[in-house]
Amino acid sequence: MLISDKLAEAFNQQIGNELANYLQYLAISNYFEKESLFALARLYSKQADEERDHAMKFNKFLLDAGRSPILPAIREPRNEFGSALEAAQVALDSEVATTRQIYDLVALATEGREYIPLNFLQWFLSEQLEEVASAESRLAIVRRAGPSVLMVEAYLVHETS
Please give the mean pLDDT across all residues of the chain. 93
The per-residue pLDDT for range 72-99, each reduced to its tens digit, is 999 999 999 999 999 999 999 999 999 9
Domain boundaries, position 147: 5-69+79-160
Q: Which of 22-26, 114-118, 153-157 has the lowest mean pLDDT?
A: 153-157
Residue 93 lies in a domain: yes
pLDDT of residue 146: 77
| Segment 120-131, tens digit of pLDDT | 999 999 999 999
Q: Is the pLDDT of residue 161 over 70?
A: no
CATH number at residue 87: 1.20.1260.10
In a domain, 16, yes or no: yes
d(CA 23, CA 49): 10
- Tally of structural domains, the chain: 1
Assigned domain for 74 exists: no
pTM beyond 0.85, yes or no: yes
d(CA 61, CA 139): 32
- Which sign does the torsion angle of CA 129, 134, 139, 143 carry? positive
Domain assignment present for residue 102? The answer is yes
Q: What residues contact 126, with CB distance under 8 A and at least 6 apart? A: none
Q: Report, as an integer, the average pLDDT of 23-39.
A: 95
Compute the average pLDDT of residues 23-46.
95
Burial 108-120, CB ≥16 within 10 A → b, else e? bbeeeebeebbeb
